[in-house]
Structure 1
């Protein structure tokens, strides 16, 4: 039952990504400055996702001597992180817009902390491998 409720909520959320009219129908129109700030945050998340995708391609291209499975792992993690970041961007934008229209507190998320830890850990691993020239 809980799983089906979660799936229903997720499906509703994804439908809102493509239906701005449904978002506008909720609550009252917030100050445009807040909506525009929400949009700038969305765009910043998209830039972060693009940077992760670019990092994935860079690892693949600039570490040819790195063991192929390790290089592929780093590449896939960065590419998947970029995709996840882009999806999270639109989801967060919708959630914030709805909260503002309803006069609710903005939603909180652990995603920024998880993303920062993952990127930081991956960056340290790549830096160490680059410094020691690991080519196993």
Structure 2
């Protein structure tokens, strides 16, 4: 039995749920799991950035700080980007359109490459 608050006009965000038709629940749940995986990844990035700086490793201090900041900043922005990706994907499924390209993965790859190069330089220049 459904309640009046289960109708699409009462679900948040309305810009997503008020459009199209309800997709197969398995696809919506998979989309939600992807969002939650990106959220876990953001927590790992923040933890890695904090650990890199807090452990005080024998690395070049400015480069260590730069790598830490890159990880922490991207970890802080990633949940918002993954929420936007979730909304675009959910809306596309509801409107029976092709799924959008997920830009979050490319951003994560660039972030890890930059942080890795900074740590490598910090090791070489200590």
Q: TM range, normalised to the smaller chain?
A: 0.7 to 0.9
Alpha-carbon offset, residue 48 of structure 1: 0.9
Normalising by structure 1, we get a TM-score of 0.74
Bigger mean CA offset, 48-57 vs 63-72: 63-72
Gap runs ≥5 in structure 1: 1-17
Residue correspondence of structure 1 range 51-90 to structure 2 within 5 A:
51-90=44-83
Distance 2:20 2:13 in 1: 13
Q: TM-score, normalised by structure 2?
A: 0.79
Q: Which has the larger helix fraction? A: 1
Where does structure 1 differ by over 3 angstroms across 4 or more consecutive aligned residues? 127-130
Q: Which residue of 2 aligns with 1:13?
A: none
Match of 2:17 in 1: 24
Unmatched runs of 5 consecutive residues or more in structure 2 = 1-10
Instruction: Provide the aligned length of Structure 1 versus Structure 2.
Output: 116
Question: Residues of 1 paired with 2:69 and 2:115: CA distance?
Answer: 12
Quote how far apart the aligned CAs of 1:125 are.
3.9
